[in-house]
């Protein structure tokens, strides 16, 4: 579910809108899978979905997507900070971001903030 919210958010940021076809291509999943997930996300209040009309994240969906994006960015920054190549850092962040506890995220952010100041 989080992968869908994240990709919808990113597509809207990039293009101003997201379509089921875009999501199918980005996540490399079937069109029926996307439709099923869009209905589920609509039912749970994360987005508004009308078949053939488009996809809009609700405020709740936007908040979840922004939080996931923040986790991804922090993890990528941390991994590159310790010397991991950016493409590997992005790939690893994608795999970890959904399993990160809020306490870990908070400590990671504190660590990065402290070390950004030292680098300047």
Q: What is the pLDDT of residues 50-102, one digit of tens each?
A: 777 778 899 999 999 999 999 999 999 999 999 999 999 999 998 888 888 88
Whether pLDDT at 5 is above 90? yes
Q: Is the pLDDT confidence value at 118 over 80?
A: no
Considering the chain, what percentage of its residues have pLDDT values greater than 90? 67
Q: How large a percentage of the chain has pLDDT more than 70?
A: 98
The predicted pLDDT at position 54 comes to 76
C-alpha distances in Å from residue 40, one per residue of 5, 19, 67, 108: 12, 16, 20, 32
Average pLDDT of the segment spanning 1-11: 92
Distance separating alpha carbons of residues 3 and 44, to the nearest angstrom: 15
Supply the pTM of this predicted model: 0.81
> Helix H segments across the chain?
2-15, 20-27, 31-43, 59-81, 86-96, 102-119
Give me the pLDDT at residue 120, please. Answer: 56
Q: Given pLDDT bands bounded at 50, 70 and 90, which one contains residue 30? A: very high
So what's the pLDDT on residue 119? 65
Task: Mean pLDDT check: name the lowest of 22-31, 45-54, 96-105.
Answer: 45-54
């Amino acid at each position: 579910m989080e992968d869908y919210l994240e990709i919808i958010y990113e597509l809207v940021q990039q293009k101003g809108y997201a379509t089921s076809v875009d999501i199918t291509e980005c996540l490399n999943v079937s069109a029926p899978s996307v439709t099923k997930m869009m209905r589920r996300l609509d039912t749970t209040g994360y987005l508004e979905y009308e078949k053939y009309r488009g996809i809009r994240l609700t405020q709740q969906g936007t908040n979840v997507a922004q939080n996931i994006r923040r986790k991804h960015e922090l993890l990528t920054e941390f991994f590159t900070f310790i010397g991991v190549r950016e493409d590997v850092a992005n790939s690893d962040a994608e795999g970890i971001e959904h399993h990160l506890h809020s306490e870990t995220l908070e400590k990671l952010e504190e660590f990065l903030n402290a070390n950004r100041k030292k680098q300047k």
